[in-house]
Structure 1
């Protein structure tokens, strides 16, 4: 009798285990389905705009070759002369940035802001000093693709939508891996195999599952590195906690402006971990002299009435009777510091600084270990702050190294591989949509979601999922909580909606 009872208990236990297994499978499938259906348009958008941004240099050169290309000569004109020529041509403009030519056959660039607010690059032949032409920075295909990629051209709301999509993308990957890994004979049949003789649906399923499974960690890398730029998870948590502490700069006055203020539009030109860090300030010598009543005349400053620890007056420009370090001297200083390819941001106020920036974020360099941002006092030429790879924390190092890979900047091979990744992600998105379309009930006004498999404890799993997600990815957790609330408040009370969405 006891053996019969034990046998019955064993059968009951097996049935319970099978029921639990089916519940987990169908629950995971439903999560994967709903997340995937929401993500399809975002995956397509991110991949397509990513392809445009990968070929930014090639697209820009084909559009503006006539104003970018120069014939190399043996000698160049001083950059200060080139700058004066630009300011003479655009007398009402303010100059914000100088970008040295990356190769001898390309022109130097000066970024200026017109009185209309438009920002343009003025290209100058460094060998003759002559202005070649201009490029409207707002007309860049890269900037347009980047704006769509980051905000859908909807501002903050677009940024939130993309952050929700990327956050749900993490759920899509986790559930997808669970569905992909073999559990029984049925799932083993298509694991790392492409069945070509079992019909189009099985073929598509095997391609979708195996490509998605094999590239899951690649896609996770793209999601995480992208989320680090997002407003909530990135801006409020990860980037804020990873920002370089300006307090590390000893005896340096701080501005009210942060490093992100030097970006032009949506172009990310400053290192990720410095964007939220406050800028240092130059000592405003004119204000100091006026305050002490010892203002020095313009003529005296021009004749070198300066302390011995400053740069010679003949390498400076004068304004308000106070000598400022000229751009030629700053560029000589950059060379002495070891900078090769970089951007030079010019002071934008009387207390602004010169900023030499060479980083993987803006594509200046491809080796993140050479990242460097140096701030120089515009009056004395003294280095106020110098941040290198060694000062980056682990997350900042991940972003500096990761963004170069993300953008395909490391090498030609990196760019080719990223193109293949984008095409693979496009296929995964489209194949997921096609599979849903094939399996949906024809002629019925229903969504065709995977069937429910009821099991005790569903509320516990749902609650734990929301709590974990809310801690790790706030917008994903909040979105799921909102959907569950709408489901409880509306969908479960309207039978037609309940049928249609299942």
Structure 2
């Protein structure tokens, strides 16, 4: 007799396969997310000698701070300046030297260099790089994107499997804490998965916007600014996203796909883009800081210095409150503001994404936001660990314990449609879903074809 595989059975197996792939990533994302979530509290505790200074008198100009730094580090190539956020904080420079990128901290009152930090090998940078691309570049980014997409499949298939089918609320809305063994772990997994599903989807989807494949396509589709903004501004072939890295965030998501302008003087004179820049030809760093202040850019911004003869100064803040986001590009020779992009220039989708990202990172509503996201991370960890325990307890010796195909439930056509939509929305997921389905079908056919020995 021919049997038809039901969607319930496929959902069960997809949930299992998704879990095998996704759970290690979910654990990593949760742990690194918790570290980055509490960056505002951890950094002052770990690096008080670098970050904190005694307020006294009038601080030195940005250029004077830079001169003191260059005397201490004459071989360093400075790429970025972060002014003190308040009277008790140090100034920070980012520089490259001997193949390393360093964060260099300067007392803004005396010009004393307080110390250095490896910009790519400190706790927060490592946590962020692991969280975004596993510290292995493009391959890691694609794996994280695939894991996030399969995380969505995990949530959707999990909700279908959780959906009450006549049983009571115990084990559905709350765990049966008087249970023991596998039943208790099953309840913990199902109930925490249900209550955390909406928040987990929120975390996955807001995180997906930063990925290099799906996120870049999504950004390109929705982040558009008036063409007139660039009518009188020569632009390069680089985008603002080039200012971001796995370890640091300079410009906001909403402006990542904007072209970087070029300084008009160099463009008109036909300078070669890769030519070294004579510092004396530039406007002063302090003048850039003064323009940022005059234009109301809130403290916490960075100034990225030009690296080429036609490069620009970029003043940027990816603010805790996205309404304070700002990205300014200044001509390095005339200090003319070539672009000034704010919250008011963002489209509706960009505003929603930026707000979602700030909630994701626990920055929008201070400690309350941090604690909420901590709770989400802990729910994810509990759900992940409980699923591993369930799998370990039921797995056959020497086998992964893939759930068997059952045939006693009807096909859920709506569920199939949802899975097809997910595959279309997230192409990497769709391709891998198709691959897994084909492999699963082939393995099933091979098992059926095997002769039964007496």
Normalising by the smaller structure, the TM-score range is: 0.7 to 0.9
C-alpha separation between the residues in 1 aligned to 2:331 and 2:432? 47
Q: How does 1:120-199 map to 2 (within 5 A)?
A: 120-184=102-166, 186=167, 188-199=169-180
Name the SS of the counterpart of 1:231 in structure 2.
coil
Q: 2:240–2:258: 8 Å Cα contact kept in structure 1?
A: yes
Per the alignment, residue 32 of structure 1 pairs with 15
Query: What is the Cα deviation at residue 384 of structure 1?
Result: 0.8
Per the alignment, residue 337 of structure 1 pairs with 295
Per the alignment, residue 385 of structure 2 pairs with 430
Per the alignment, residue 401 of structure 2 pairs with 448
C-alpha separation between the residues in 1 aligned to 2:191 and 2:246? 40
216, 219, 242: which one pairs with 2:222? 242
Q: 2:58–2:109: 8 Å Cα contact kept in structure 1?
A: yes
Change (3 A) 1:490 1:462: farther
Q: TM-score, normalised by structure 1?
A: 0.80
Q: How does 1:232-381 map to 2 (within 5 A)?
A: 232-235=213-216, 237-245=217-225, 247=227, 248-264=229-245, 266-284=247-265, 288=269, 319=278, 323-341=281-299, 342-359=301-318, 365-381=319-335
Specify every segment of 5 or more residues in structure 1 that has no aligned partner in the other structure, as ranges: 1-18, 291-317, 360-364
Q: Deviations over 1:54-77 (max 9, x none)?
A: 233444334432222211112211
C-alpha separation between the residues in 2 aligned to 1:201 and 1:325? 68
Per the alignment, residue 73 of structure 2 pairs with 90
Query: What is the Cα deviation at residue 460 of structure 1?
Result: 8.4
Name the SS of the counterpart of 2:174 in structure 1.
coil
Q: 1:29–1:179: 8 Å Cα contact kept in structure 2?
A: yes
Q: Deviations over 1:220-251 (max 9, x none)?
A: 0111111112222112x212213344843221
Change (3 A) 1:279 1:129: same
Change (3 A) 1:376 1:32: same
Query: What is the Cα deviation at residue 445 of structure 1?
Result: 3.7
Specify every segment of 5 or more residues in structure 2 that has no aligned partner in the other structure, as ranges: 272-276
C-alpha separation between the residues in 2 aligned to 1:498 and 1:176? 35
Q: Deviations over 1:135-181 (max 9, x none)?
A: 22122111212222222233322222222211111111112222223
Q: How does 1:464-483 map to 2 (within 5 A)?
A: 467-483=420-436
Q: Deviations over 1:109-137 (max 9, x none)?
A: 111122x2322122111111222222221
364, 388, 397: which one pairs with 2:351? 397
C-alpha separation between the residues in 2 aligned to 1:470 and 1:204? 30
Change (3 A) 1:402 1:465: closer
C-alpha separation between the residues in 1 aligned to 2:270 and 2:247? 39
- By relative contact order (CA 8 Å, sep 6+), the higher-ranking structure is 2
**Which of structures 1 and 2 has the bigger CA Rg?**
1
C-alpha separation between the residues in 1 aligned to 2:245 and 2:208? 21
Q: 1:374–1:383: 8 Å Cα contact kept in structure 2?
A: yes
The answer on 1:103 being equivalent to 2:103 is no
38, 42, 49: which one pairs with 1:55? 38
Per the alignment, residue 440 of structure 2 pairs with 487
